[in-house]
Structure 1
Amino acid sequence: MSRLEPGTPAPDFTLTNDAGEEVTLSGLRGQKVIVYFYPAAMTPGCTKQACDFSDSLDSLQGKGYTVLGISPDKPEKLAKFREKDGLTITLLSDPSKEVLTAWGAFGEKQMYGKTVQGVIRSTFVVGEDGDIEVAQYNVKATGHVAKLKRDLGLE
């Protein structure tokens, strides 16, 4: 499995959001974009992470960042996730896992001492030019957004 590195072009994608609309990464060129991958909507860790990003969205947007959360969940489940937890970030569906795989966010990982295939919780910052500026794999669900903001000098 190949991992993305800072300075490389971000793989483009077009995915469906929770409202059934298509979102294309290259359509956001000229903006800074935080792309994060999470295993499953409505699970404790993923809910905590999504709520942290939603709670920080105003300050992130104030610094010019757009946030995209991507999981293998279908748009209908993402819509329930948004409604249940009052999420304000953009949630995108990748049921084929093609985008997850292209970004190195799907593959072998350790879970409860076993090697399994699954979503690797990962976060990327894509610059205005479309290149990866930050690539973080195996991030923690709790406290990650605060750490990312510190890493980006936003706190």
Structure 2
Amino acid sequence: MKKFFKRYRSFLIVLALLLLITLINKKIGFKAFDIATFSMKEMLLVIPPVFILLGLLDIWVPRETMIKFMGEGSGLKGVLLSILLGSAAAGPLYGAFPVAAVFMKKGVKFMNILIFLGAWSTTKIPMFLFEMSSLGTSFATTRLLIDIPGIIIIAYLLSKSVSKDYVNKLYVNAENL
């Protein structure tokens, strides 16, 4: 029982706060509950397909292939593939983290994982098309041309500033998932 409370401590605290808010102000409490319920439904619709695709990626793509195309010696090919995979992805950013964990299991270079996460959050193709139709081609193209080098620079700086020991611990943790 103690393990249960420790594991779900954050959830239970938020639930208690939600109940307290509802006791103080029912309108705000019910609105918060509606938002939380909507978010939970949205997550439940996104996460299962992501995990199915991850299972297929884990089984169908050999580790050696991932290392060849996105591992330590991949160079520009790995960077471009990371940007392409992140840009073509669908779904909210929280869907990218399980993919990143599988990439770690497969031996993808840390910098390429960071680029993938940056591309997923910033350069999605549907978002680019929406921006082109809503804000104009020049704005959308300019934003994309600024974002891509920015993602690469940030990923490079982060990969150089994080210690090798810490990165190795991340890879070990990903293996244990």
TM-score category, normalised to shorter length = under 0.3
> What TM-score does the superposition give when structure 1 sets the normalisation length?
0.24
Q: Which has the higher helix share?
A: 2
Structure ID, larger Rg: 2
Greater share of strand: 1
